[in-house]
Chains A and B, each alone.
Chain A
Amino acid sequence: MIEISNLHKAFKDVPVLRGVDLTVGESERLVIIGGSGCGKSVLLRHIAGLLKPDTGSLKIDNQELVSLTERELNPIRKKIGVLFQGAALFDSLDVFHNVAFSLMEERTLTETEIGERVAEVLDVVGMGGEELKKPAELSGGMRKRVGLARAIVNRPTIMLYDEPTTGLDPQIADSINRLILKMSRNFNVTSIVVTHDMVSAYMIGNRIAMLHDGKILVSGTPDAIQKDANPIVQHFIHGVSEESDLDGFENNRNGKRTAQNAPR
């Protein structure tokens, strides 16, 4: 269970999160949507314990994370698997050692057991037999799969996905979405997915929350979100740009000076 209340975060005096309140239940699949730069990934990094909020509370299984030091966070991080936007595979290690990394660091399993566990998760993500390849030899989709294998090898109870389908073609994106569903159903993990891809959001989520202006604007089932009357939500989910987005372009065409087209 993840409970976030009144979470604030600013970078160099620019507020990004302005009082986020969110609760994620066990085995839930929550998709966080929102425009680029609205703070989705920042929120996810807070949940992963990678960022400290300026104020507010963040609890995972009733344990407050905000007051913990970097080393005290490690036991909680072991419960969480993170798939980063660019997969963040370790360049110097091959696929096997990337996936086996956390098991080798923990030193509780024998080498044979580690080998078996790595082979098992690589089969789950469809990357069996690619153990000796270096990250540089993999395509974007393959890297995401290996990143996913690395995140689940330690059997986490919470999985965080940062833009899992960004930069992938629709077919590969679909396969990643299916994998996320498979993880959630087979291993009964709580999943939080940050995305602006609405196809993914409807496919994966049993709840969707929209982040806007540093706050959760609306939260509900995919059906409820589709029927929500808020124009901001409707514009976002249907991919309609707002008139103000085009002001700079229009004014530029008319020869007026605005902040967007002012000479620098």
Chain B
Amino acid sequence: MKFRQNLQNPWNSVNFVNSVKKSERSCPSVIHHLCFPLQMKKGFFELLGSMVLGFVDYLGNVFLLSVESFKSIFTQRLRWRETVFQISSIGVHSLPVVLLTGAFIGLVFAAQTYFQFHKVRMDTNTGPAVSIALSRELGPIITSLMVAGRVGAAMAAEIGTMRVTEQVDALRSLAVHPVDYLVVPRLIAMVLSLPLLTMMSIFTGIVCSYVLAVEVLGIDGAYYLHNMYIYTDADDIYTGLIKVFIFSFIIVFISCQKGLQCEGGAEGVGRATTQAVVNSSISILITNFFATMFLSKIIPP
């Protein structure tokens, strides 16, 4: 029995070895000695297999939710009241935190860039470096991570609480599909809000970097802006926008899936919320790398 328990948890190596030694004493056969490494391997592969299956199952659930959501958008009536409420919740209420983050990222990036560029007398190129970095990478990533933390957690917690208090079942019993009522308004609100939030964050970052560069670090404002206009392209903005468009789907599907699959009362809601934020953030960072590589082929930097 203990051996079986240890197979389920092969990392508990002390117990594992002890249990095998005890069983050796009771059954000192040659077959058992031969079986020992096999059993250890079996435990490892069982764990690995269950992890892989769990991950595939999770991806499948997120994929099915996304398919159901797109089907709902094109075949079901859109709930405008809920969508507007979500735009307010996701977009308007996230604005202060997103602007603050954008401002300080712009400031610190401008300062660091200036310190390095100043060594090679390229002070006025701080402007384009900041604007391109903010437009292509920092703006989309920082804004998406902040929104995933603020809004993704709220989505998972709200839907998860509805699920454990039978409110999702109540929706279903009233002949309303949870995806139509809970997921689609959030998805549309996120797809509309996140690009706007990102643009505002980038704008704030650039304005703050200009103020710092010109008023504090003493760079000539005219050159700063002139170089920024020359080197920053509309393609940089498009790249950022395409990325946040993808990130908005990631945040909504991962967070809503965690909420809808939530089980186990308050503890389950807490776990779903944490997992929603962690999974969304990791997915955003991984997707960002591949999006950068892919977009660099279509829209060369």
Tell which of B117-125, B161-169, B211-219 binds the partner.
B161-169
In the bound complex, residues from chain B placing their C-beta under 8 Å from that of A102 are 174-176
- Given contacts A86-B165, A88-B166, A91-B167, whether A50 and B175 have CB atoms under 8 Å apart is no
Residues on the B chain within 8 Å of A48, using CB: 173
Task: Give min CB distance, A152 to chain B, whole Å.
Answer: 12
B226 beta carbon closer than 8 Å to chain A: no
B150-192: which residues lie under 8 A (CB-CB) from chain A? 161-162, 165-167, 169-170, 172-177
Within 8 A of A (CB), among B119-165: 161-162, 165
Shortest CB distance A154–B (Å) = 8
B162, B169, B176, B177: the one contacting A45 at CB < 8 Å is: B169
B-binding segment of A75-83, A193-201, A231-239: A75-83
Can you list 16 pairs linking A and B with CB atoms under 8 Å apart? A45-B169, A50-B173, A70-B177, A82-B173, A88-B165, A88-B167, A88-B170, A89-B167, A90-B162, A90-B170, A91-B161, A91-B165, A101-B174, A102-B175, A105-B175, A154-B174
Cα of A90 to Cα of B173 in the assembled complex, Å:
13
Q: Classify chain A's interface size.
A: 20 to 34
Please name all residues of chain A whose beta carbon is closer than 8 Å to the beta carbon of B176 when the two chains form the complex.
101-102, 105
Do B172 and A77 touch (CB < 8 A)?
Answer: yes
- A111-158 contacts to B (CB < 8 Å): 150, 154
Chain B residue contacts of A251, Cβ below 8 A: none
Residues of A within 8 A of B (CB): 45, 48-50, 70-71, 74-75, 77-78, 80-82, 84-86, 88-91, 101-102, 105, 150, 154
- Chain A residues contacting B173 (CB-CB under 8 Å) are 48-50, 77, 80-82, 84
| Minimum CB–CB distance for B176 against chain A, Å | 6
Q: Which of A70, A80, A86, A105 has the most CB of B within 10 A?
A: A105
Using CB atoms, name the residue of chain A closest to B72: A71
Task: Count how many pairs of residues, one from A and one from B, have CB atoms less than 8 Å apart in the complex.
Answer: 55
Query: Looking at the complex, which one of A71, A77, A78, A84 makes contact with B166 (CB distance below 8 Å)?
Result: A84
In the bound complex, how far is the Cα of B170 from the Cα of A86, in angstroms? 11
A170–B217 CA distance with the chains assembled, in angstroms:
76
B94 to A: closest C-beta gap in Å = 19
The answer to whether A74 and B167 have CB atoms under 8 Å apart is no
A43, chain B: closest CB distance, angstroms: 15
Q: A227 to B3, alpha carbons, bound, how many Å? A: 52
B167 & A85 in contact (Cβ 8 Å cutoff): no
Query: B175 contacts A77, CB within 8 Å?
Result: yes
Taking the nearest CB of chain A, how far is it from the CB of B181, in angstroms? 8
Contact residue among B162, B167, B177 (Cβ-Cβ distance under 8 Å from A71):
B177
Residues from chain A with Cβ under 8 Å of B177 in the complex: 70-71, 74
Residues of B close to A86: CB separation below 8 A = 165-166
A91 CA to B172 CA in the complex, in Å?
A: 16
| Chain A residue with the shortest CB-CB distance to B167 | A88
Residues of B within 8 A of A101 (CB): 174, 176
CA distance A127 to B172 in the complex (A): 24
In whole angstroms, what is the CA distance A81 to B172 when docked? 11
List residues of chain A with CB within 8 A of the CB of B174.
77, 101-102, 105, 150, 154
